[in-house]
């Protein structure tokens, strides 16, 4: 897409229809989810206990973390001792607290 094409799409109000969500580039990574209390902490870049995950990915691998509502939080990994989940890259939402 050229800059001119992008500008035209913006003017037409159709740019968002052509964009992919950030997590589309990470579809090859394992996925897990967590309840709202864990998501609040994760979106603040804090570590959370691994027990708070709905599904436990393999240790040492990075994975995508989602809220139970399907919202994408970012890329996380389990710490070396296997007890905590730490953020690698958090994709904070404008509506997150």
37 Cα distance to chain centroid = 16
Q: If DSSP codes are grouped into helix, strand and coil, which group holds residue 9?
A: helix
Cα separations in angstroms, 85 against 36, 38, 51, 61, 93: 15, 10, 9, 11, 20
pLDDT of residue 20: 83
Cα separations in angstroms, 17 against 2, 13, 22, 28, 77: 16, 9, 14, 23, 31
CB 9 within 8 A of CB 43: no
Q: What is the pLDDT of residues 45-78, one digit of tens each?
A: 999 999 999 998 877 789 999 999 999 999 999 9
Cα distance between residue 95 and residue 56, in whole Å: 27
CATH number for the region 21-90 comes to 2.30.130.10
**The model's pTM:** 0.78
pLDDT of residue 51: 95
Sequence ranges of the domains in the chain: 21-90
**In angstroms, what is the C-alpha Rg of the chain?**
16
């Amino acid at each position: 897409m050229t800059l001119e094409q992008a500008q035209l799409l913006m003017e037409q109000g159709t740019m968002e229809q052509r964009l992919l969500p950030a997590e589309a580039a990470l579809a090859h990574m394992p996925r897990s989810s967590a309840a709202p209390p864990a998501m609040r902490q994760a979106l603040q870049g804090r570590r959370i206990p691994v027990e708070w995950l709905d599904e436990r990915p393999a240790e040492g691998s990075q994975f995508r973390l989602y809220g139970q509502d399907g919202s994408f939080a970012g890329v996380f990994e389990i710490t070396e001792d296997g007890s905590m989940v730490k953020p690698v890259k958090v994709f904070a939402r404008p509506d997150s607290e």
